[in-house]
Amino acid sequence: MINKFEDYEKLNEASLMGNPGLPGEPGEGGEKGSYLSGLDARLQQKLADLQRTHGRDMMSLMQFVGEARQIQRGHEADLEKLAEETIMDEYSEILEAIKLNVKFDTGGKIPKMMEDVPAKPCCEPQLKELEDSDIISEIHRRKISKNILQGEAVNTKKILNSDVSRTGLVRILGRERGERYRELLNKITDIAHHFYWVIPHDVQLAMWERDKSGMSGSVKIEWTTPEDEEEAESHAQGIADQLIESPELPEDDIAELFDEIDATINALGTDYAMLIHETVKGIYQLIMSVAIPQDEETAQAVIDNTDTLDDEIEDLKYGPEIAADLRDYIEEFPEAGRISNLRARVYGKMMQMEANEMLELILQILEVNPAAKKKVQEIINEIDEELKAYQSGEYDNVEDEEPATAASAHYSDDTDYKSMSKKDLQKLIDQALDAGDIEKFKSLSSHMTESMKVKAFAKYPALDECRLM
């Protein structure tokens, strides 16, 4: 076992090195004082902190995994539902048209889902042999994007430890076992990330390539159409092609295109934390899919050079730090406290840029260049205006009515509550609580998600949850 940071094996093919989106990475191997060198120093300190925090627990990873699986046994269905509700509490406003299929792995489905992922680029040309500057830029852009994706997924401890998650785990498992389960998942997450660094890159690659059954999670996006599932993928590509060819396509036409296709995030995990981790990965896969080049040959070259197990090992190491730097930068803007999921929305706008333009913006952000602040503010202003336009259109039909009257007019019986949007249901809950209408609140309670319950009892702690639920 390698215990010293200076003993860690350096990557032979560190594809982030030389990436124009990272400060101080001018070519192969980078240079002293580069952004990646700075990340190495930061990670050295973090790993030392983890060693001090967990101490001897580092050698008990598999024991913790076994204990966690014993606690969750028999509660898988409830934990799957809680994972979906926790994710929706965090991302509901950007997942309105997306289906979630979050499941514990049974029957070795994870290695089957991963069997098509190559260990290294399976065919030529590889990055060092490419000459087309546009393709190279697309590869660098996707490499940065994959690091953001992996980083956002690894950095999900906030969601794991949210009020919705904590309350749900206690409800499902009981107070003592629920708290112990969450404690175990936090430890497992920390120790696993530590091992991403202490186990040499080539050793990890050989392990993953030899036996994918040890993987603890996987995610896949599935595209389906109601008419013909076999044509789903080509239909999805058709949508992308039309948007690329006609970026100013009228909103009604765009809506019609997307109404014809459903996207489902299929997330598999071996524990509750991995269900959240893989679902978040799926969300960012969707956000970043718009940046895949239209040309099939170019797209294949980009994917061949970025979507391998070799890449994923590096992404898991550096991604959390890169994503954290971008997160901290974006959340400094005052709109971050007002616009939900601002970070994901900003990334979505970045994915619509030309590759070189996006790489330049990432570089400026990481350098804390004043030019970045102006550009990011422009993006945020655009997002803000789009949201305001959407919201104003949404309420045009009821602007002359009292809120409670308007909602009640459309949803007057229990059957209709099932078809309501979560946003409208939340309005009715708030109205009932504000009016002190406990009977109304009780009639709505069976349709509440876990996050709605948590919010209701946090706002009105005097409510007796056992009596009402």
Q: Note the Cα 113 to chain centre separation in Å.
A: 18
Domain boundaries, position 315: 5-225+261-323
Tell me how far apart the alpha carbons of residues 109 and 51 are, in angstroms, rounded to a whole number.
33
Quote the pLDDT of residue 242: 54
Looking at every residue in the chain, the average pLDDT score rounds to: 76
Return the SS3 of 221.
Answer: strand
Q: Which helix (H) or strand (E) holds 242?
A: helix 232-245
Q: DSSP per residue over 110-170, as a string? A: HHHHHTTS-SS--SSPPGGG---HHHHHHHHHHHHHHHHHHHHHHT-HHHHTSHHHHHHHH
Let me know whether 304 and 427 are in one domain. Answer: no
252 within a domain of the structure (yes/no): no
Q: Is a pLDDT exceeding 80 seen at residue 309? A: no
Q: Is a pLDDT exceeding 90 seen at residue 82? A: yes
Let me know whether 317 and 454 are in one domain. Answer: no
| Average pLDDT of the segment spanning 1-29 | 53
Tell me how far apart the alpha carbons of residues 115 and 220 are, in angstroms, rounded to a whole number.
12
237 within a domain of the structure (yes/no): no
| Average pLDDT of the segment spanning 91-115 | 79
Q: In this predicted model, which residue has the larger pLDDT, 243 or 312?
A: 312
Let me know whether 319 and 411 are in one domain. Answer: no
Tell me how far apart the alpha carbons of residues 78 and 181 are, in angstroms, rounded to a whole number.
14
**Which of 83-92, 202-211, 286-295, 352-361 comes out lowest in average pLDDT?**
202-211
The pTM assigned to this predicted structure is: 0.72
For the chain, percent of residues with pLDDT exceeding 90: 33
Let me know whether 311 and 417 are in one domain. Answer: no
Let me know whether 279 and 130 are in one domain. Answer: yes
Let me know whether 319 and 450 are in one domain. Answer: no
Tell me how far apart the alpha carbons of residues 456 and 440 are, in angstroms, rounded to a whole number.
13
Count how many domains the chain has.
2
Quote the pLDDT of residue 300: 82
Tell me how far apart the alpha carbons of residues 346 and 233 are, in angstroms, rounded to a whole number.
26
Q: In this predicted model, which residue has the larger pLDDT, 73 or 286?
A: 73
Tell me how far apart the alpha carbons of residues 428 and 161 are, in angstroms, rounded to a whole number.
28
Between the alpha carbon of residue 419 and those of residues 226, 407, 424, the distances in Å are: 19, 13, 10
Quote the pLDDT of residue 413: 47
Tell me how far apart the alpha carbons of residues 171 and 49 are, in angstroms, rounded to a whole number.
33
The token pair that represents 363 in the structure block = 């570089």
| Count of Cβ atoms closer than 10 Å to residue 52 Cβ | 8
Residue ending a domain, among 275, 303, 323, is 323
110 within a domain of the structure (yes/no): yes
336 within a domain of the structure (yes/no): no
288 within a domain of the structure (yes/no): yes
Residue ending a domain, among 299, 323, 347, is 323
Residue whose C-alpha is closest to residue 81's, from 187, 20, 165? 165
Residue ending a domain, among 297, 323, 349, is 323
362 within a domain of the structure (yes/no): no
Let me know whether 302 and 426 are in one domain. Answer: no
Let me know whether 291 and 200 are in one domain. Answer: yes
Return the SS3 of 59.
Answer: helix
- Contact between 362 and 369 under an 8 Å Cβ cutoff? The reply is no
| Average pLDDT of the segment spanning 421-444 | 74
Q: Is a pLDDT exceeding 90 seen at residue 178? A: yes
17 Cβ contact list (under 8 Å, min separation 6) = 11, 25, 27, 28, 29, 30, 36
Per-residue pLDDT tens digits for 223-235:
765 555 555 555 5
Per-residue pLDDT tens digits for 258-308:
455 578 899 999 999 999 999 999 999 888 888 888 777 888 888 888 877
Give whichever of 26-35, 104-113, 209-218, 335-344 has the largest mean pLDDT. Answer: 335-344
Let me know whether 314 and 439 are in one domain. Answer: no
Tell me how far apart the alpha carbons of residues 196 and 317 are, in angstroms, rounded to a whole number.
6
Let me know whether 26 and 154 are in one domain. Answer: yes
Let me know whether 301 and 429 are in one domain. Answer: no
| Average pLDDT of the segment spanning 309-313 | 79
Let me know whether 64 and 161 are in one domain. Answer: yes
